[in-house]
Amino acid sequence: MNSSFFIYISGMKRKIRQERESEIIEGFYQLAKEVGLENASIAKIGKFLNIPPSLIMHYFPNRDFLIQALIRYILEHYQLIYEPIIEHLNVSHKLDVQELVGRLFSREWNLLFDDGVFYSCYALIFRDKSIRAAYKNLHLALRRTLEDILNQDSAFAEMDTRQLAEQIYVVVEGAYYYLAMIDDEEEYQEKLQYFKKQVLGLLQDEVNAEFRR
């Protein structure tokens, strides 16, 4: 064995480690989805995955490491699922705004992602600076992606696309927050239309564009 400071784990062992860590975090996420983050204990994760709790602690020294890893997992997946949806619009000079708005509010990706765990973790930003920073990074990245898309269309050349991206996302995120409270499908669709129209208004509002500069 070499004597460097770094723990060198070769081949198989490294793979085992990576796979176990992933398995544990995914199990943690799945369980939190079912019983709530506050009830997803290490013992329960072990039972859920059929491994002893001590194995979990072998990879994650304490609960905080587990939470940090869960948040990394959630934010990575949020971005991984969401960004391609708006990224692959293939803007050939002219952006299809209807299509963009449709994708921003798409419920498809919503089905792939559970909001309960996301907001439980979000609530942690108020007491943990590093979690706050991680959440901020995700939200900035989403805005930058949208900004880039807008910049590809010359129609927005005169507009402050950074501001526009901020304004669009604040509606999208406010809508997700609010619509989660609404069970009735008809009411849901009605309000969703309000917000889609609102974003379309932002994108088409050339008068405002000048006013805002």
- Number of residues this chain uses to bind a second copy (CB under 8 A): 47
User: Which partner in a second copy, DNA, none is near 37 (CB below 5 to 8 A by kind)?
Assistant: a second copy
Q: Which residues bind DNA (CB under 7 A)?
A: 1-2, 7-14, 16-17, 20, 39, 41-44, 51-55, 57-58, 61-64
11-35 vs 42-49: helix crossing angle, rounded to 10: 110
Residue 53, amino acid: P
Question: From the list 69, 101, 175, 203, which residue makes contact with a second copy (rule: CB under 8 A)?
Answer: 175
Task: State which amino acid sits at residue 21.
Answer: E
Task: Name the residue type at position 101.
Answer: V
> What string marks each residue from 128 to 157 as x (binds a second copy by CB under 8 A) or -?
-x--x--xx--x------------------
- Its sign, for the CA torsion 201, 207, 210, 213, is negative
Q: Judged by CB under 8 A, does residue 83 bind a second copy?
A: no
Taking CB under 8 A as the criterion, the residue among 68, 79, 110, 120 binding a second copy is 120
| Whole-number Å distance between alpha carbons of 85 and 106 | 9
Distance between terminal CA atoms of the chain? 63
Based on the shown chain and the rule CB under 8 A, indicate whether residue 65 belongs to the binding site for a second copy.
Answer: no
Q: Is 122 in the site for a second copy (CB under 8 A)?
A: yes
Q: How many CB atoms lie within 10 A of CB 161?
A: 19
Minimum Å gap between C-beta 89 and DNA is: 42
- The listed partner (DNA, a second copy, none) that binds 182, CB under 5 to 8 Å by sort, is a second copy
In eight-state DSSP terms, residue 127 is: T
Compute how many other C-beta atoms are within 10 angstroms of the C-beta atom of residue 42: 17
11 Rama class: left (phi>0) / alpha (psi -120 to 50) / beta: left
Report the alpha-carbon distance of residue 135 to residue 52 in Å, rounded.
31
Work out whether 177 is an interface residue with a second copy (CB under 8 A). Answer: yes
User: Which residues 23-52 are close enough to bind a second copy by CB under 8 A?
Assistant: 36-38
- The contact set with a second copy (CB under 8 A) reads 36-38, 114-116, 119-120, 122-127, 129, 132, 135-136, 139, 163, 166-167, 169-175, 177-178, 180-183, 191, 194-195, 197-198, 201-202, 205, 207-208, 211-212
